[in-house]
Amino acid sequence: MTVACPFGTHRVIEPVGSLPQGAQRLDNRMEIQPNEILVDVETLNIDSASFTQIRQEASDDKDRIAQIMLDIVDRRGKHHNPVTGSGGMFIGTVKAIGKDLQGKRDLQVGDRIASLVSLTLTPLVIDAIDMIHLDTAQVDIKGQAVLFESGIYAVLPDDLPQKLALAALDVAGAPAQTAKLVRPGDTVLIVGAGGKSGCLCLHEARKRAGVSGKVIAMDYGEEAVRRIRQLDLADVVLNVDATKPVDCLRAFEEATGGTLADLTINCVNIPQTEMTSILCTRDGGTVYFFSMATSFTAAALGAEGVGKDVNMLIGNGYTKSHAEITLEVLRENPKLRQLFSEIYV
């Protein structure tokens, strides 16, 4: 490794000069530089789009899922799915702090943390895969990871179970961005509202739109719809396939009397849902694509093709105070916390 860079470029093997997230391969040796943090990792929370793709490739065979994951890390030095381009995050225990960072952060050896940067840029070694949880996209491992000087993390809270906190923090950008984007009185559509990020966004949308606003939840399948209704956060719940945009538009307009959304938040973990989000949003409105399954080419050209003048935002996984905002959602909403507890704890 060369002189340590705050952004981790010293770990990039190829292409030289790129940042770690976009690199094809990282140096994942676990001897840390003075500005790095070494963590003993116990659980990976794989990004929903990535885990769905791996499950499909492996036909839900856990041994094949494990081998695919090990092959990704072996080839790339990080868990960066070459198909979806996405990663996930981890929880673990701080093992060592580089001398340049000691005393400069509110962090000590032995602290249990959740990474708030993607596995797509995190040097990772997996020594063993102990358990794969198909229903939660969480994978228990024995391994180690390195956080760079620029890397962000959250010390795990004492009042929430750790896997519950991990599940929420994995999608912390979504509810926090929702809190920023929703205005009182807005009509808000959440596509994929029955998933992890979608449920958290429902809470923030309901809270921010207020009594004069309207929150519409869209998902596909009885289980997802049941989960949404159980939370009692949406004014309308639509059971419709988001890969069929014209059907979705008809269902949405029927539910709203022809009014389109001021803000649409896409949390779906499969491709080809871009046009549903765009068609259901009014001209001058905003579409926030949180899903890593989004094709931004399809979104841009699709909006042009149907003549829709909408603002489109890339789902940045980070926004200021996103960890605090997201964990507070679970504290504020007993029904949501109970749902997450049933799934992840």
Q: Would you tell me how many other CB atoms lie within 10 Å of the CB of residue 174?
A: 30
CA separation for the pair 330, 341 (Å, rounded): 10
Q: How far is residue 311's CA from residue 57's CA, in Å, rounded to a whole number? A: 34
Q: What's the chain's length in residues?
A: 345
Following DSSP, what letter does each residue of 141-193 receive, concatenated? EEEEEEE-TT--EEEPPSSS-HHHHHHHHTTTHHHHHHHHH--TT-EEEEETT
Please identify which residue in the block is written with the tokens 């080809």.
Answer: 272
Q: How far apart are CA 297 and CA 217, in angstroms?
A: 25
How many of the other CB atoms lie within 10 Å of CB of 84? 20
**Which SS3 state, helix, strand or coil, does residue 296 take?**
helix
Identify whether the C-beta of residue 220 lies closer than 8 Å to the C-beta of residue 269.
no
Q: Which residue has the tokens 């890593």?
A: 292
Tell me the C-alpha distance between 188 and 57, whole Å.
34
Q: How far apart are CA 312 and CA 301, in angstroms?
A: 12
Taking the chain (345 residues) in consecutive chunks of 10 residues, what is each chunk's mean pLDDT? 84 95 97 97 95 97 98 98 95 96 88 96 98 96 97 93 90 95 98 96 98 98 96 98 98 97 96 97 97 92 97 90 95 95 85
Delimit the domains of the chain by residue range.
Answer: 9-156, 173-344
* Tokens at 155, concatenated: 């010390």
pLDDT at 59: 97
* Residue % of the chain over a pLDDT of 90: 91
Q: Residue 256's pLDDT is what?
A: 96
Question: How far, in Å, CA of 184 to CA of 218, rounded?
Answer: 21
Q: What pLDDT, in 10s, does the model give residues 54-82?
A: 999 999 999 999 999 999 999 999 999 99
- Longest Cα–Cα distance in the chain: 62
Residue 105: per-residue pLDDT: 79
pLDDT of the residue at 104: 76
Which single residue is written with the structure tokens 């000069």? 17
**pLDDT tens figures, 278-327:** 999 999 999 999 988 899 999 999 999 999 999 999 988 888 899 999 99
Region class of 210: left (phi > 0), else alpha (psi between -120 and 50), else beta: left
Residue 340 · residue 167 · CB < 8 Å = yes
CATH of the domain spanning 173-344, picked from 3.40.1390.10, 3.40.50.720, 3.10.200.10, 3.10.129.10: 3.40.50.720
Output DSSP code: residue 231.
Answer: H
* Distance from C-alpha of 269 to C-alpha of 197, rounded to nearest angstrom: 10
Model-level pTM?
A: 0.87
The closest alpha carbon to 113, from 97, 135, 134, belongs to 97
Q: What pLDDT is recorded for position 293? A: 87
CA distances from 45 to 70, 164, 178, 268 (A): 15, 11, 22, 17
**pLDDT score recorded for residue 343:** 86
